[in-house]
Each structure stands twice: as structure tokens, then as C-alpha cells.
Chain A
Amino acid sequence: MKARTMGRHLRESLKSLGRNSWMTFASVSAVTVTLLLVGVFIVIMMNLNQLADNLENDVEIKVIADPAADEAAVKELEKQVRSTSGVEEVVYSSRDEELDKMIKSFGDELSLYKQSNPLGDALYVKAKDPHDTASIAKKIDTYDYTSQVVYGEGKVEKLFKVLNMSRNIGMVLILALLFTAMFLISNTIRLTIVARGREIEIMKLVGATNSFVRIPFVLEGIWLGVLGSIIPMAVISFSYYELYEQWEPKLQNELFQLLHAMPFILQVNGLLLFMGVFIGMWGSFMSVRKFLKI
């Protein structure tokens, strides 16, 4: 194709937006509304997902060493735990530190025990994959010098189950929403093209090739997608930024953290723009096809 023809297609696609301004408005509105919904949903889902990750990562195993074990034995145990496959992090806490923690939570009466500390040294273990927590705990339990291995047996499994389920539900909802969006938008575009079926017919009758007919429509679909994604991108960027600025300081020490505004906003914007363009293009392409059979 000649560059001049491409230029013509570009000009035509832009002109046509103006000539069919009412249809353009309808399509752009459909894109705007659906992308806004999809965008808000994605922001919520991604943040919930982040919460789920944080919850999972918070799961740890507490290994209490045999109080009778001497320092070398505990060192040996720590080494053994560290080299266990699937273990990411091991934090050592001495028996005195453990007692201090207990005094802090239960009160000064426990200070009496400082004379003869009944506690053992403790190791706090985090798994690389939180889902492996149970199996790692079982393995550590078999090592010498462990007196107790605690990881919230039962509760952890339930938590993982709930989180997994909510992730899957979220995924299904996003897909369903995307599908609806594509259907709605391509249908609106189809309406605008049906209204111009005669135009396509005439183009074909004077000897236009299929691609010559199709390219301006597909370009027009792209513009519709771009125009339709502007408002959703702006609204989501602005609102999320404001939300982040307002709430991030208040959530400093909480388990729930908002995703950092940058690059998250850019990623969501990129995704919305891509979806808008793709849906516009695809909608036009599919709708024109029907009229090319003359």
C-alpha cells in the first residue's frame, strides 16, 4: 500500500469520527463506562490480592528449642533449619528475649522467672512459599533438640483456602466483566457500522479491495478505544493517587498496605488503554467483515 493511501485512511478515519459524531459519542460512552468499571474493579482486586499476599507472608513457624539444649546444640539446630529446603528466613530469639516478650504481654508478675528461665531459645521460620509451611514444620519437628513446633495448624490451611478461593472468584469476575465489556463495546461499534453498510457497499461496487474498506474502520475503532479510555484513565489515576496520599500514612503498621501509586497507576492505565484499543479494533474488524461479502 502506498504511503499516500495510508495517509488517506488516517484522514478518513478521523473525518468519519466527526461526520458520525452521534455514533462516535455512543461508542466512546460505551467504552468509557465499561473501562471505568473494569478499571475500578482491577484496582480493588489488585489491592485485595496484595492483602492476601501479605496475610500469607505473615504466616511463620515458631520452633522452640529444648530448654535443656546448650548453646552449641541450638546453633546446630539453627544451621539444620536454615538448610531445610523451602526455608527463606530464620530469626533467632534467645530464651531471655522470649521471656521479655512474655513479660511484655502478660505482665510483670512473670519477672520472677528471670531467676530461672524455663523457656527455650526460639527460631522464627518463614517459608519461601507460604503454602509449604505445614510440611516444613513437620520436617523441623523431626530434628533433635526441638521441643515444640508451632505454626497455627488448621488455621493456616483454612486461611490459604479462603484466600485461594477469593483470588479465583476475583479472577472470574474480572474475566466476566472484560467479556461483557468487549461484547457491549463491539456491539455499539457494530451498530455504528451497520448504519454505514451502504457506504461499504458503494465502496465495494466501485472496486475497493477489502483491506481498503476495512482499514479506515479499524483505525476508527482504535480512535474510539483511545478516546473512550481517556476518562477512565484520568479518573482512576487521580482517585487512586488521592486515596494513596490520604491513606498510606495511616496504614503504616497495618497488615493491609495499598499498592504504591507508582508504577501501579501506570500499569492500570496501560492495561486500560490496551483494552480500549484492542476492543475498538476487534469490534470494527469483526463488524465490517459482514459487509464485505458484496
Chain B
Amino acid sequence: MIVMKDVYKKYPNGVVAANGINVEINRGEFVYVVGPSGAGKSTFIKMMYREESPTKGDILINGINLATLRNKRVPLLRRQIGVVFQDFKLLPKLNVYENVAFALEVIEESPKVIRKRVNEVLALVGLTQKARMFPNELSGGEQQRVSIARSIVNVPKVVIADEPTGNLDPDTSWEIMRIFEQINALGTTIVMATHNKEIVNTMRHRVLVVDGGMITRDEDEGVYGYES
């Protein structure tokens, strides 16, 4: 599903954010990516949806090699991946329904399919009643649920989440995590960068620790295991 081989990333300012990463993530897995700030977590995540390209090495997602992927084909990659951000990245001038439908409009789905799919995912994240509200009328947790709904509306095989609970209070964070568990239970691979020790230690899944641009620990049913 996701394979990284000897991935190396050096930014123009000289920072080495990935220093020989080798990892394989299988279909249907739930993986936490943890590690101190500035250790290369974000770069690790961003390389998966090609916001950043590796300087060296290969990244394969669903068999697509991102190292050789031409810019023109990047949109096609992103349609196979759902991405959830810490800051939600919703369009403030679109309402909940439109924000979710947007991901399908972009891939030119028919209005009928869009209506059906959007209503399904809004029900899944529990926002059917708030479909006509705008992002600024929602709480942080609700906004993150819209963002999750948008990431899964085109039924991606992988959902990548960069600190999805980073801006949320503990109760809301658990609520969001339950949605991720649910999506994972439906067979979607989930890769989540997080700083939330409690979540990692409670909802046990595979843990990758990234430090100094390398994977220093890879453990099934692992724990957070370090003080941040």
C-alpha cells in the first residue's frame, strides 16, 4: 500500500528532514507517526501526498511512484488519498455540504453521485443537521469532522492525517478518534501524525517514531514511549 525506500529529504536551507527512511504500511493498517517537534514528522506526512518531494529514494502509494510522478499526474494521486489537516483547511465561504461536495466536484462526479455520497459521509461524521452551516458557525471539533468527511467522500484507500487533534480539546479529540477508528474499520488505511500521548497509549495501533529524520522505533500495538 505505502512503501518508502531509502527516502532522503534535504530542504534548500540545509535542513535534513528525512535521512534514509524505510517503511512499509499495509492495506487496512492504522499507523501513528510520533516524535518530537522538528523531527521530520510533517515532512514524512507531506511527502505522502506530494506536497513535498523526496530528494532521493522512492515512495510508492498504491503502486504509484511519487519520485518519478510528473507534476501533471499529482492531482490523480491526491484523488486516491484523503488528507486531514490540523487547521482543517475548510473554505470559509462554502457551507458544510459544499465543502464536502467540493472534493467530488473537482473530480467531475455527477450531481447525483455527489448528493448521495455527501449525505452518506455527513451522516457518518454526524453533521447531517448542520449541512447548511458555514465553518465559522461550527466548533473546532465539528470543523474537523467536516474536514474528515471531505477526505473520505471519494472513498480513498488511504487517509493521511497531520495532527488532526492538535487544535482540539480532549473530549473532542476522542470524538474525532472514534470517527477515524470507524473509517479504519471499513478497511481504509490510516496514517496519523500526532502529539497526543493519551490517544496513542489508549487506542493501540502500530507506532512509528520519527526522530532526526529517521524511523527510530516501529512497533505494532506500540506506545507513545517518550516525553515530549
Contact = CB atoms under 8 A, between A and B. Distances in A.
A263 interface: no
A208 B108 contact: no
A16 to B, nearest CB: 8
A201 B106 contact: no
A202 B75 contact: no
B93 A209 contact: no
A83 interface: no
A108 B62 CA distance: 108
A280 B91 CA distance: 24
A203 B98 CA distance: 13
A198 B99 CA distance: 14
Contacts of B66: none
B105 interface: yes
Interface stretch (B4-12, B76-84, B204-212): B76-84
A207 B103 contact: yes
A135 B191 CA distance: 87
Contacts of B32: none
Interface in B63-107: 72, 75-79, 83, 89-91, 93, 102-103, 105-107
Contact of B91 (A4, A199, A207): A199
Query: Residue among A202, A207, A294 with the most chain B CB within 10 A?
Result: A207
B107 A207 contact: yes
A80 B56 CA distance: 86
Contact of B106 (A1, A4, A212): A212
Given A2-B108, A205-B89, A206-B106, A294 B75 contact: no
B150 interface: yes
A246 interface: no
Given A199-B91, A202-B91, A207 B105 contact: no
Contact of B108 (A4, A19, A210): A4
Interface string B182-217: 000000000000000000000000000000000000
Contacts of B111: 4
B49 interface: yes
A252 interface: no
Interface in B121-171: 150, 154
Contacts of A208: 75, 106
A207 B108 contact: no
A206 B108 contact: no
A206 B93 contact: no
A76 B110 CA distance: 86
A209 B91 contact: no
Contacts of A198: 89
B51 interface: yes
A5 interface: yes
Contacts of B108: 1-2, 4-5
A75 interface: no
A205 B78 contact: yes
A8 interface: yes
Given A8-B105, A199-B91, A207 B78 contact: yes
Contacts of B90: 202
Nearest to B83: A205
Interface string A22-60: 000000000000000000000000000000000000000
B51 A294 contact: yes
Given A2-B108, A204-B78, A207-B75, 15 more contacts: A5-B108, A198-B89, A199-B91, A202-B91, A202-B102, A204-B75, A205-B83, A206-B79, A206-B102, A206-B103, A207-B154, A208-B75, A208-B106, A209-B72, A294-B51
20 contacts: A2-B108, A4-B108, A4-B111, A5-B108, A202-B102, A203-B102, A204-B75, A204-B78, A205-B49, A205-B83, A206-B83, A206-B103, A207-B75, A207-B106, A208-B75, A209-B75, A210-B75, A212-B75, A212-B106, A294-B51
Interface of A: 1-2, 4-5, 8, 19, 198-199, 201-210, 212, 294
The list of the 9 closest CB pairs from A to B, nearest first, reads: A207-B78, A207-B79, A208-B106, A206-B103, A209-B75, A207-B75, A19-B93, A202-B89, A5-B108
